[in-house]
């Protein structure tokens, strides 16, 4: 079952009659929730009119930025920031971060705060884009093409993307065809189609990780073992009316992605048989009923996960014969050595009753602070009333959790013993005015941070005098306690809360924008148009990028990346240049060497 078709991006090839009056009703039937879970509409027509402008204005992908804000991409090519300034669980402000990005199907954040997105141009060329905002003004500093020329002109496009534990960017690339044979005048399968690909965004070269995946729209990494899992929507059209005949379409899949694995499309979808062509095909770890169209996979983490911690959450887009349109808990067991298996996959947290053909859940993301689950619902069916579009974002939470404060990881998360008094920064949800921070159960002086989501706790020197682990909680004025986080006080020399030594790991040269890496670097009479990008760790604010000891003028900077402009004569003669980073403390990194050839 195709997820998106090229051009109009309509859900593909399901036969259904003209919508009836009942199907066009603007009154939504309730969402059925599992026991112990509640929901509310975080975004709907009344507070996010953007979703209800046209057939292609609905949400496609979601991601939380390092500041705890929800970013949402839309079919209309816009990236929105949906803010909940009063912390009541509903968006109350919409900011437009970017526009006019065609076929925008996936967004994700890198650990340094840069936003990445997938896009497909009208000519069918797929791209990976970087949209950094390092001055935090909610406008991209630039829109850089990291990888171009991906095959997205067929039945499926360049879709979701995620950074892996290795720091590389992984994304799904759909097939060009439904079953392997192109329609007249349409493209056939090519080496990059029906695959999962990874790239080093600092040195844009790609590697095909796995093949035989018709439409790997949802991908996710296990939060503990780092293994990659993917959904895959199977081939074949669904016929619901008339003389349909036998449906031989394969089931839908969840796959454990192994390096160089082949997952069967187009000859061996579903559970491989004794067919000689399928002997080397990796079987899925679970299959769903055909045509349900799995659209996302993530893992249940955060303070509300409880007994479901690290279980899969999978959305099934379509509702067929009372099945699907679900957010499901999928019990995954095993390990990378022995393999993985699914023991149960029929436990819906939420059933989204069908409002129209093709309407259903499209993506899932978890608030890293509260653990609330956000589910985007997409509706691209044409309506008799053109003002009706069932596009929503639901917020799902455990019963009672709406009354509790939650806190995320601490900043810093560890300090060196004997380092003195500490201003501990805490970001959270539902932190009421007058909330205090508790250290091992004892209240410490607490200040309001920059927003209602931030607190600063002033820890005395005695709290960090000796090696220990401190328990950190927040108590609201009504006495409710948050979840716990821990602050590690380490041995002297084990952790450095003060000046750090920067570490360099990689570098590359490019011209103005990262559309083409310069390799090898040849002599240039005037190097002003060329940039040097370095990546690493512990780059402090005010760090300098040095070439042969001379600081470059910086174009951008973060804790893990610096980009500088070469001086006019720096590349004028062949030779070897030394590259280092120097922090304001005076500490200097290791040396990388850049060769300039004639």
Tokens of 541: 């604010």
The verdict on whether omega for the bond into residue 533 sits within 30 degrees of 0, i.e. cis, is: no
Residue 306: what are its φ and ψ, rounded to 5°? 55, -125
What predicted TM-score, i.e. pTM, was given to this entire model?
0.79
Segment 298-323 mean pLDDT: 92
Under 8 Å between Cβ of 554 and 531: no
Q: Which is nearest to 319 in space by CA: 354, 370, 281, 363? A: 354
Under 8 Å between Cβ of 317 and 361: yes
pLDDT digits (tens, 9 = 90+) for 164-180: 988 899 999 999 999 99
Segment 82-86 mean pLDDT: 96
**58 band by pLDDT with thresholds 50, 70 and 90:** very high
3-state DSSP assignment of residue 51: helix
3-state DSSP assignment of residue 62: strand
Q: Is the pLDDT of residue 389 over 50?
A: yes
Segment 401-414 mean pLDDT: 91
Residue 50: what are its φ and ψ, rounded to 5°? -50, -35
pLDDT digits (tens, 9 = 90+) for 121-158: 988 899 999 999 988 899 999 999 999 999 998 889 99
288-302, 332-346, 570-584: the lowest-pLDDT one = 570-584
Q: What pLDDT score was predicted for residue 26?
A: 38
SS3 content of the chain, % helix, strand, coil (to 5): 5, 45, 55
Q: Is the pLDDT of residue 596 over 60?
A: yes
**265 band by pLDDT with thresholds 50, 70 and 90:** very high
3-state DSSP assignment of residue 235: coil
Segment 194-212 mean pLDDT: 92
pLDDT digits (tens, 9 = 90+) for 433-477: 999 999 999 999 999 988 889 999 999 999 999 999 999 999 999
d(CA 353, CA 338): 38
d(CA 394, CA 43): 7
Q: What's the burial of 315, exposed, middle or buried (CB within 10 Å: 0-12/13-18/19+)?
A: buried
């Amino acid at each position: 079952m195709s997820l998106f078709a090229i051009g109009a991006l309509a859900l593909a090839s399901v036969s259904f009659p003209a919508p009836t009056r009942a199907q066009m009703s603007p009154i939504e039937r309730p969402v059925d929730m599992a026991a112990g879970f509640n929901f509310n509409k975080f975004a709907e027509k009344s507070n996010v009119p953007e979703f209800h402008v046209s057939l292609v204005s609905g949400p496609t992908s979601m991601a939380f930025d390092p500041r705890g804000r929800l970013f949402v991409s839309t079919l209309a090519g816009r990236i929105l920031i949906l803010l909940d300034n009063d912390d009541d669980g509903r968006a109350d402000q919409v900011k437009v971060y970017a526009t006019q990005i065609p076929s925008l199907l996936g967004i994700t954040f890198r650990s340094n705060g840069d936003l990445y997105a997938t896009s497909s141009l009208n000519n069918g060329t797929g791209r990976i884009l970087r949209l950094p905002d390092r001055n935090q003004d909610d406008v991209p500093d630039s829109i850089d093409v990291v990888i171009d020329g991906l095959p997205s002109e067929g039945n499926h496009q360049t879709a979701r993307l995620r950074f892996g534990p290795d720091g590389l960017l992984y994304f799904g690339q759909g097939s060009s065809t439904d079953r392997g044979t192109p329609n007249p005048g349409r493209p056939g399968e090519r080496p990059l189609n029906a695959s999962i690909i990874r790239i080093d965004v600092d040195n844009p070269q790609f590697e095909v990780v796995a093949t035989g995946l018709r439409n790997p729209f949802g991908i996710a990494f296990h939060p503990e073992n780092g293994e990659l899992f993917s959904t895959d929507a199977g081939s074949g059209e669904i016929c619901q009316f008339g003389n349909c005949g036998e449906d031989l379409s394969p089931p839908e899949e969840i796959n454990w992605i192994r390096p160089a694995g082949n997952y069967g499309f187009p000859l061996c979808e579903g559970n491989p048989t004794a067919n000689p062509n399928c002997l080397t095909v990796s079987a899925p770890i679970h299959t769903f009923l055909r045509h349900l169209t799995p659209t996302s996979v993530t893992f249940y983490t955060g303070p509300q996960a409880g007994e479901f911690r690290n279980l899969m959450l999978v959305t099934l887009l379509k509702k067929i014969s009372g099945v699907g349109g679900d957010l499901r808990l999928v019990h995954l067991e095993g390990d990378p050595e022995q393999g993985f298996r699914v023991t149960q996959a029929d436990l819906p947290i939420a059933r989204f009753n069908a409002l129209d053909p093709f309407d259903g859940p499209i993506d899932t993301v978890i608030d890293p602070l509260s653990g609330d689950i956000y589910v985007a619902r997409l509706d691209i069916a044409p309506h008799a009333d053109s003002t009706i579009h069932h596009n929503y974002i639901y917020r799902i939470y455990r019963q009672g959790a709406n009354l509790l404060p939650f806190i995320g990881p601490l900043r810093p998360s560890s300090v060196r013993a004997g380092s003195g008094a500490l201003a501990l920064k805490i970001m959270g949800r539902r932190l009421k005015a007058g909330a205090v921070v508790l250290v091992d159960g004892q209240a410490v002086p607490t200040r309001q941070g920059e927003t209602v989501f931030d607190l600063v706790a002033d820890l005395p020197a005695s709290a960090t005098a000796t090696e220990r682990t401190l328990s950190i909680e927040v108590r609201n004025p009504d006495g409710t306690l948050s979840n716990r986080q821990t602050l590690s006080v380490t041995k002297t020399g084990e952790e450095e809360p003060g000046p750090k030594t920067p570490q360099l790991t990689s570098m590359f040269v490019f011209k103005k924008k990262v559309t083409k890496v310069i390799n090898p670097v040849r002599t240039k009479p005037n190097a002003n148009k060329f940039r040097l990008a370095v990546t690493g760790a512990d780059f402090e604010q005010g760090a300098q990028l040095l070439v042969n000891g001379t600081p470059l003028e910086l174009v951008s900077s973060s804790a893990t990346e610096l980009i500088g402009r070469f001086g006019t004569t720096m590349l004028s003669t062949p030779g070897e240049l030394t590259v280092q980073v120097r922090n304001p403390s005076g500490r200097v990194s290791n040396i990388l060497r850049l060769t300039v050839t004639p």
